[in-house]
């Protein structure tokens, strides 16, 4: 005949204990039973299970929990998660990271390891939504470009050359007609001949027109320079 005490000793439950990361030490009633993973069989009773970071880590953390086994066959699984943030990165970087409608930062960055869904956005690229899980810590999230059209650099294109050439021509013309007007006006002052004064006005008018064209071309050049 099997005694009640013998039956009680054989009445055990399986307990599986896991930690994230797997470098965490696991203790049962202050006795070391594994690192990262432990599987034990426990009889009825109360037990203290602790997960501890290595003591060589500054400000090492400990998470403890009390486990009660009340009946036979109460198989239990316990998990201790020491990871509170994950490293989120993307290719290309500097993508906008949104939590719902709120901008929380730019890649690369650390984000809380929760069930929240985040959205990555970057001008010129397709947006991507993703759940925050541990797998994103080691991989860059690739953003797909909206268009593969090659962007032509303004400074190597024909427009830039035309504008620069026009500025040089209009600048030279402005200086030429201005000097010519000054010379005609000097002769008018010396001789009093009305024809010199008329020529002065004509050359000043041409100089003003070329100066206006020069300013317009320069303004267009600055616009392309600032928007390219």
Give pLDDT, residue 3: 45
Residue 107 has pLDDT above 90, yes or no: no
Q: How far are the Cα atoms of 11, 76, 85, 155, 159 from residue 166, in angstroms, in the given order? A: 97, 83, 58, 15, 11
Indicate the pTM of the whole model.
0.39
Coil, helix or strand for 105? strand
The per-residue pLDDT for range 151-196, each reduced to its tens digit, is 566 677 788 888 888 888 888 888 899 898 899 889 888 888 888 8
Distance (Å) of CA 67 to CA 32, 179, 189 = 16, 99, 112
**How many CB atoms neighbour CB 124 within 10 A?**
10
Cis peptide before 76, with omega less than 30 degrees from 0?
no
User: Which positions ≥6 away from 127 have C-beta within 8 Å?
Assistant: 119, 120, 121
Using CB atoms within 10 Å of the CB of residue 177, give its burial: 0 to 12 exposed, 13 to 18 middle, 19+ buried: buried
pLDDT at position 47, please? 93
Per-residue pLDDT, 114: 63
DSSP 83: -
The answer on pLDDT for 69 being more than 80 is yes
Q: pLDDT for 117-149, tens place per residue?
A: 788 999 989 998 887 665 555 567 889 888 655
- The rounded distance, in Å, linking the Cα atoms of 193 and 41 is 122
Q: pLDDT grade, residue 16 (50/70/90)?
A: very high
**pLDDT tens, 22-53?**
889 999 999 999 999 999 999 888 999 999 98
Check if the beta carbon of residue 89 is closer than 8 Å to that of residue 64: no
pLDDT at res. 26: 95
Q: What is the spatial distance between Cα 210 and Cα 173, in angstroms, rounded to a whole number?
A: 7
């Amino acid at each position: 005949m099997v005694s009640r005490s013998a039956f009680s000793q054989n009445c055990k439950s399986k307990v599986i204990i896991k930690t994230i990361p797997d470098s965490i030490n696991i203790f049962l009633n202050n006795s070391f039973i594994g690192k990262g993973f432990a599987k034990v069989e426990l009889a009825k009773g109360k037990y203290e299970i602790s997960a501890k970071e290595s003591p060589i880590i500054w400000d090492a953390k400990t998470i403890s929990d009390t486990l009660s086994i009340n009946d036979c066959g109460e198989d239990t699984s316990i998990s201790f998660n020491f990871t509170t943030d994950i490293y989120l990165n993307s290719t290309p970087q500097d993508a906008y990271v949104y939590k719902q409608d709120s901008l929380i930062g730019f890649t690369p960055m650390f984000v809380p390891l929760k069930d929240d869904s985040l959205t990555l956005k970057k001008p010129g690229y397709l947006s991507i939504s993703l759940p925050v899980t541990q797998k994103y810590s080691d991989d860059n999230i690739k953003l797909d470009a909206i268009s593969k059209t090659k962007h032509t650099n303004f400074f190597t294109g024909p427009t830039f050359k035309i504008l620069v050439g026009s500025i040089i021509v209009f600048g030279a013309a402005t200086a030429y007609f201005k000097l010519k007007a000054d010379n005609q006006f000097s002769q008018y002052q010396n001789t009093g001949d009305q024809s010199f004064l008329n020529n002065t006005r004509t050359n000043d008018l041409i100089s003003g027109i070329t100066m206006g064209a020069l300013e317009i071309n320069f303004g267009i050049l600055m616009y392309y320079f600032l928007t390219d």
